[in-house]
Structure 1
Amino acid sequence: MPLNQSNSNLGNPHFSYGYGYPPYPPMEEEEIDLKEIFSTLKRNIWWIVAVTLLTIGGAGAYLYFTSPVYQTSATLEVTSNTKSPLSGANDLLSQGMGLLTIPTDIGTEMAIIQSRSMIERALKLVDFTHRYYQISHFQKREILPYQSPIEVVIEEGQKLLFTIEPLNKREFILEVEGNDPETGEKWEIRRKEKFGDEIVEKGKFKLVILRTGEIPPDTKYQFQWLPVVDTALALQKNLSVTQPSKGANIIEVSFQDTIPQRGAQFVNTLVQVYLKERIKQKTQQADQTLQFIDSQLKEVSKKLAESETALENYKKNNKVVDLSFKAQETLKKLNDVETQYNQLILQEELLNMIIKKLHSPHSITSISTDVIQDPLLGNMIGELQKLLLKKEQLLMEYTPQHPAVIQIEKQIKMLQSMIANRLRTIKKILESKKASLKKLIDQYTALLKNLPKNERRLVDLKRNYMINEKIYSYLLEKRAATAIARSSIISDNRIIDTALVPQTPVKPKKRLILAVAGITGVILGIFLVFLKEFLNTKITSLEEVERLSPIPIVGSIPVIKGLSKKGVSTLLSPNSPFMEAFRVIRANIQFLSPKKRVITVTSTIEGEGKSTISSHLALVYALANKKCVVVNLDMRKPTLHKIFNIPNDYGISDVLANNEGNLERIIHKTQFPNLFVVPSGTIPPNPGELLESPHMEKVWDYLTSNFEVVIFDTPPVGLVIDALEILAKADINLHVVRLNYSKKEFFKTIGDLKENKGIKGMGLVVNGVKNRQGYKYSYGYYS
């Protein structure tokens, strides 16, 4: 693309030298530059990659050290209101003993399955208290007892951690860790022991460690014996009992464990224990009924035998065979009323038994909520059962003094009081019925008193016998029914699906964790890159220079390793990126100012590369058949003579200090035709005054008259102001910045030179650009 600007100069801030870039914005404006963002990410891509690999590596380490967790589940069908074999016997005895119905609440059953007491019963069949661990390759994995080549037979030492490090087939190192139960201080024991020997530490532990198989090399084993209660509480956290569908009476029992076989065995055992407990509860209710009936039968049987004997003896002694028709009718009616009256007495005894159960939490579950067919009483008893179970769950986590426990205790006491009041009300109703029946009994008894004495006595005896006989028959009937019911008791609930041994762990989720780690690494890497860029005070890219610079970019110089050792020989390679970069700068300067030939090269601080750039720029002009001289005005720290390998014992500082007119003495030829160098000379105490002296005017005139191009290597403007006059007189002022070295704040100095010091014809040379960046900008100036 040819240059399309003409009759312009480097002092115009809107000139772009063929880049096609828009005018540089003021430094105070901040805009979101997507191009700069992507360039920043591209420059720091290895940072992002490194952080991402670190996060993925951390996730991999986590997955390596974390034991996989497996989940297994079993499903149960729970019948909400199950009828017993005596459901047809709609009488108070069956109802009072809880044989008619055992109402079931799904939430209550779920709480029972998850309760600590139920888990403890399952632990009697599945061993979770003796735990074995294998440690190999920095991994700690729990194993089943039969998988361990070491067996621990322990008598004392609960909660202690035993570490066994085998030395050979006979000996091992034993480490024991524990806490003092009184002080809570941690203690540790380490000693050498032999397999099969009894190991005793008085007051701490007593055990025997047996070797039962081959022990892999570099492998340790750990053992713990945990209390049942602690184990049950720990397992409770991994046990989940849910209702998959709220409309169905289905319960799902799920458990998570690091050993899949043990997890499945525990779930199946737990549901079996639950079903057996339900059967046991119903059996206990039937046993209570039989016990009550047997006690009544014993008493009634005795009374029946006595009344029968008395009746037979009276008949024999008095030669009375039977009663008159009227007496028989009256006796029958009286007998019926007295039977009802005696049944009410039985009901009262049952109510007293229920009241006694009410204040015993362990017996409350055996109370039927259908007692005396009272819905209100049934609802209150059901609610009481729920509160008692909830209190038991709270006590697993909190002390009795916890506010939640205190609150539920208040609710329980209030509900017990309400139930007791309701039972008293029912009892009063029974007493009222008894009073009515007593009146009828008195009326029929008065009628029988009008009978003759012998017949009246016979009525009394026969009446007593018939009452006892009916009660005895009634109790025999109930005992037979209850015995049948007990023998046919089965679980109302059933297992739909047993727990299977899971094959795939539910956590940790490897793919998800690695994906999240990768995404997190990328995000964290990008964040760190922009944080680094934000905290970095140095310029790092051409794009950043382009955004910050108040003057146009003339060219960019690529990084050449070991340049200081190579001197100016690098440009002898005509196709090198280094040579092409200086050709670009020369072409831009010549196109813009073909007749202007005084160029200064400066920087803000030392080390930015101004001397290297001034010497090589002079060489490029010389190679283009331009007679060029490069003058070292950096008198404090001169380096130009080292680049061209010329002496520096006498130079421009000496000429200016002595007002010497023979300038040819300080102009040195180089190995390159048309290229001359003026060294700085002796380091003076006042370089600024020398550069402002009248004799400097003569030097200026001589050089511009005898050379086509004059390049002044001036001191850094950020450190001293020696060369401001030289900069003001020069045709073109090149300011050098170096990537990853020059600070962003240096552009304020550059802007100050342009705006406040009146320095014109300024252009920026960016040094230290990587080749990939350099090509993008360098060729763009002239291609």
Structure 2
Amino acid sequence: MEIAKKSSVAPVEPEEIDIKELFRTVGRYKWSILFITLIFLVGASVYAYFAPNVYKATTTMKISTEMAKNAGGDFMSAALGGGNVNLDDEFALMKSRFLAQKALDDLDIGTRYFTIEHYKKKELYKDSPFVISAEFIDPVFYGHEIQLLPVDQSHFRLYTKPTLKEKIYYKIYKYFNLPVQPLIDYDQIHEYGKKISTPWFVINIQKVYDLKDQVYSFSIVPNKNMYGFIQGGIDAAPISNFGSIVEVSFQDTVPMRAKDIVEAIVNAYNEEKIRLKTESANRTLNFIDSQLKAIHQTLKKSASKLQSFKATHVVMDIGAKAGTTTAKLSELEAKVYEINTQINILDNLLNYIKSNKDIKGLDVSSAQLVGPVISNLIVKLQEAASLRSTLLVDFTELHPDVIKVTEQINRLKSMLIESIKSTLNGLKIRKSSLIKLINESKAALRALPKEEQQLAQLTRDFMVNEKIYSFLLQKRAETAIVEASKVSEIQILDPALVPGSPIKPKRSQIVLIGLLIGLVLGLLQAFVRKLLDNSIKSVEDIEKLTSLPVYGVVPDIKSKKMKSAYLESLRVIRTNLEFLGIGNKSKVVTVTSSIPQEGKTTTTVELSKIIAKSGKRVIVLDLDMRRSKLHELLKMPNKEGMSTLLAGKVGLKEAIQHSREENLDVITSGPMPPNPSELLMSDAFKRVIATLRNEYDYVMLDSPPIGLVADAMIVMRMSDINLIVLRANYSKKDFLKNINRFVEEHELKAGIVLNGVKTEARSGAYGFGYGYNYGYSNNYYS
């Protein structure tokens, strides 16, 4: 096959996705991928082990229909007995600081105790071998962890050291002359049951039972300040969108404490609702009692006057008609009195609402006497105002929940005013009708004799006062029943239990995610390194950048086992050189490289030995006169050589040295001349090559690297073939682009030898016995 002709050097277009290249990249960087994956796997495992368990205690309860209606939605329809259930306001109350502080009355969670178990911190809730009573805690010490180490049965060591973070902050503040609290550093031996006084705390530690562990610790925060801890874990949500059953839950690292906090929140919520209900009933009772006291005095006076009149006058029976008229008149006047009371109450309510923004002063007790609609609206208005005050403890007036409640209050006020006006108009119309009937009855009584008129008047006054008194007694009895029957408006369906298993962390998922993240990052760094790595790795890299033939792939020698593969790869190159289409003439072969350290000299020497062993007469010329190494490899003297030969100081026969290998002669570089390029361009060099062609089968030229000096260009033009040695993982891809241009411009005959290939880089696509461009393959390691 003809190879002397100029070869096309246009690079081969790569495929869009090279699956083999992906796998080769993974194989090339497998150890770094494995290392990164292992690091993340170990990190995720450590995190999963030390991450504290989080438990969730829950309770479900049913809120009464009336209470659910009062929770929100259309207030007017709720007052009339309709409306949708909306529990958002109740949930806001359950998660408020106000309710958390009430729940803390039944809890003791400010002092926390810890120990170390299996290298993990474990909190001892209601199970600490010692208890702490604190007389004084400096606010700067709130939550600061103190270590307790048992010394003997009666003594313990108490110490605390500033953390690294605290030390850094302290130095920064000191450096900028900013106010900063002094570092807390304490270490003393104390006795159980004795008061411990320090600048930061005054406490007493009592031993409950023997301390088994080596190290304990504790932190103290005033119990009333733990509302933030409760707010951070409490949650409330409806079971369904349109139901009145809700779930209250709390997440904590201690299962028993989670249960206690849920119960305390539910109890505080229930007590608050009962308190509001009781307070309303008590105010109503006080109002009715005051009215009863006044009407009782009036009734006593009416009875006394009637009794005195009957004792001093003898009055005949006024007749059935007079009796009926008197009874009717008494009933009508009692109704007018009741209406007047209601009108006065409504007028006062209306004036108060119009003249006051704060509606907390509204007295629902008096409103009970004017009907359920208005009294229910007032109750809802006060509950909405109370909720707004509660929300303002935690939020500003611009918070969505506060804005929503404010809009509800304004809407409720408008509805209440309209309801009062409508009721007033109705009462006034009814009063006018009653007064008309009263005047008619009075006119009928005037027709009676004077004494009978007087008796009828006294009887009527007594009956009116008696009816009013009976009415108030009835209202008081109804209110007393309500107050006495104050029961919870919520029904606990599923009480809170101590959770048995944690809801998080999901340790298996954490480990799996760590493994996946490590694998992804490992692969990512591999491909990033591949993109950033501009060195040639394999034959595939060469094929993507040039179409110059690859004459051989030389493995990196790591052991004696690789020696045979190395020699076999050189035999493949020798065989490929034999197929050069130049007839039976001897061959001039130039071996060069892109830069030093790519192995061109070693390749030249070893390839020459292989060719010589095949019976061919070979001579090697060291033309790299600036960095000569050939004589060192062959252990030959370098006093005479190419430099002295071309300078005319010695003859050709004096310059040629015989090596230890049969059929292999060498001309070393000789002393380094000042003008190597001029010597190679001389006619003497051409005559030397022509002479050696006639005497040897192969003339091997060890040329300087073509990427550094111009000497190689002179030599390569005289060669039958130019072998460019590239070293895997060392030579740069950019140089192949220069080779393409260089070969194209100078019409050179060139081929590639890839040297130093790692055995791991070998794949089934090629081997160290692969002959490129010659239609056959000898894969010795498949």
TM-score range, shorter chain: 0.7 to 0.9
Which amino acid in structure 2 is aligned with residue 708 of structure 1?
A: D
Quick check: 1:649 aligned with 2:649? no
1:667 is aligned, of 652, 656, 659, to: 656
2:452 is aligned, of 450, 455, 463, to: 455
How far apart are the structure 1 equivalents of 2:504 and 2:610? 68
- Aligned-residue offset at 1:375: 6.7
Which amino acid in structure 2 is aligned with residue 773 of structure 1?
A: A
Q: How does 1:611-622 map to 2 (within 5 A)?
A: 611-622=601-612
Aligned partner of 1:480 in structure 2 is: 477
Q: How does 1:507-526 map to 2 (within 5 A)?
A: 507-526=504-523
Q: Secondary structure at the match of 1:7?
A: coil
Aligned partner of 2:774 in structure 1 is: none
Q: Secondary structure at the match of 2:2?
A: coil
Q: How does 1:103-502 map to 2 (within 5 A)?
A: 105-134=86-115, 139-147=120-128, 149=130, 151-158=132-139, 159-166=142-149, 168-169=151-152, 170-175=155-160, 185-193=180-188, 194-196=190-192, 197-201=194-198, 204-215=200-211, 219-226=215-222, 228=224, 230-320=225-315, 322-348=317-343, 351=346, 382=380, 385-386=383-384, 389=387, 392-398=390-396, 402=398, 411=407, 414-415=410-411, 417-419=413-415, 421-422=417-418, 424-425=420-421, 426-502=423-499
Question: Under a length normalisation based on structure 2, what TM-score does the superposition of the two structures give?
Answer: 0.85
How far apart are the structure 1 equivalents of 2:731 and 2:695? 36
Does the CA-based 8 Å contact 2:58-2:497 persist in structure 1? yes
- Aligned-residue offset at 1:35: 2.3
Quick check: 1:528 aligned with 2:518? no
- Aligned-residue offset at 1:260: 1.1
Does the CA-based 8 Å contact 2:112-2:220 persist in structure 1? yes
1:730 is aligned, of 699, 719, 727, to: 719
Does the CA-based 8 Å contact 2:28-2:761 persist in structure 1? no
How far apart are the structure 1 equivalents of 2:21 and 2:770? 18
Deviation string, structure 1 residues 411-432 (Cα, Å, up to 9, x no partner): 4674465256325413344344
2:753 is aligned, of 757, 765, 771, to: 765
Q: Secondary structure at the match of 2:711?
A: coil
Deviation string, structure 1 residues 437-479 (Cα, Å, up to 9, x no partner): 3343334334323332211211111111111211222223333
Which amino acid in structure 2 is aligned with residue 507 of structure 1?
A: K
- Aligned-residue offset at 1:184: 7.3
Which amino acid in structure 2 is aligned with residue 753 of structure 1?
A: F
Aligned partner of 2:175 in structure 1 is: none
Aligned partner of 1:631 in structure 2 is: 621
How far apart are the structure 1 equivalents of 2:545 and 2:120? 54
Cα distance 1:750–1:605, how it changes in 2: closer, same or farther (>3 A)? same
Aligned partner of 1:560 in structure 2 is: 557
Does the CA-based 8 Å contact 1:558-1:774 persist in structure 2? no
- Aligned-residue offset at 1:766: 0.9
How far apart are the structure 1 equivalents of 2:253 and 2:692? 89
Deviation string, structure 1 residues 642-697 (Cα, Å, up to 9, x no partner): 11111112211111112533x22222222222222221110111111111111112
Greater shift in the superposed pair: 407-416 or 432-441 = 407-416
Cα distance 1:667–1:165, how it changes in 2: closer, same or farther (>3 A)? farther
Aligned partner of 2:75 in structure 1 is: none
Aligned partner of 2:60 in structure 1 is: 75
- Aligned-residue offset at 1:160: 4.8
Q: How many aligned positions are there?
A: 739
How far apart are the structure 2 equivalents of 1:493 and 1:763? 91
- Quote the sequence identity (%): 31
How far apart are the structure 2 equivalents of 1:123 and 1:111? 18
Greater shift in the superposed pair: 628-637 or 665-674 = 665-674
- Aligned-residue offset at 1:633: 0.7
Does the CA-based 8 Å contact 2:318-2:452 persist in structure 1? yes
**Which 5+ residue runs of structure 2 have no aligned equivalent?**
69-78, 171-177, 772-776
How far apart are the structure 1 equivalents of 2:337 and 2:263? 49
Q: Secondary structure at the match of 1:81?
A: helix
Greater shift in the superposed pair: 731-740 or 420-429 = 420-429
Which amino acid in structure 1 is aligned with residue 755 of structure 2?
A: N
Q: Secondary structure at the match of 2:283?
A: helix
- Aligned-residue offset at 1:233: 3.2
- Aligned-residue offset at 1:700: 0.8
How far apart are the structure 2 equivalents of 1:201 and 1:275? 42
Q: Secondary structure at the match of 2:733?
A: coil
How far apart are the structure 2 equivalents of 1:99 and 1:269? 34
Aligned partner of 1:779 in structure 2 is: 769
Which amino acid in structure 1 is aligned with residue 567 of structure 2?
A: M
Deviation string, structure 1 residues 316-342 (Cα, Å, up to 9, x no partner): 111336433232122112111112112
Does the CA-based 8 Å contact 2:150-2:215 persist in structure 1? no
Does the CA-based 8 Å contact 2:723-2:753 persist in structure 1? yes
Q: How does 1:665-704 map to 2 (within 5 A)?
A: 665-704=654-693
Cα distance 1:658–1:391, how it changes in 2: closer, same or farther (>3 A)? farther
Does the CA-based 8 Å contact 2:374-2:419 persist in structure 1? no
Question: Under a length normalisation based on structure 1, what TM-score does the superposition of the two structures give?
Answer: 0.85
RMSD between superposed Cα atoms in Å: 3.6
- Aligned-residue offset at 1:359: 6.2
Cα distance 1:771–1:102, how it changes in 2: closer, same or farther (>3 A)? closer
Aligned partner of 2:697 in structure 1 is: 708
Deviation string, structure 1 residues 346-400 (Cα, Å, up to 9, x no partner): 43465478666996666789799999668799679747745752563354034x5
Which amino acid in structure 1 is aligned with residue 151 of structure 2?
A: N
Aligned partner of 1:32 in structure 2 is: 17
Quick check: 1:587 aligned with 2:582? no
Greater shift in the superposed pair: 70-79 or 532-541 = 532-541
2:734 is aligned, of 734, 738, 745, to: 745
Deviation string, structure 1 residues 708-754 (Cα, Å, up to 9, x no partner): 11111100111101131221111111001112211221112211221
How far apart are the structure 2 equivalents of 1:368 and 1:327? 36
Cα distance 1:100–1:454, how it changes in 2: closer, same or farther (>3 A)? farther
Cα distance 1:621–1:80, how it changes in 2: closer, same or farther (>3 A)? same
Cα distance 1:43–1:770, how it changes in 2: closer, same or farther (>3 A)? same
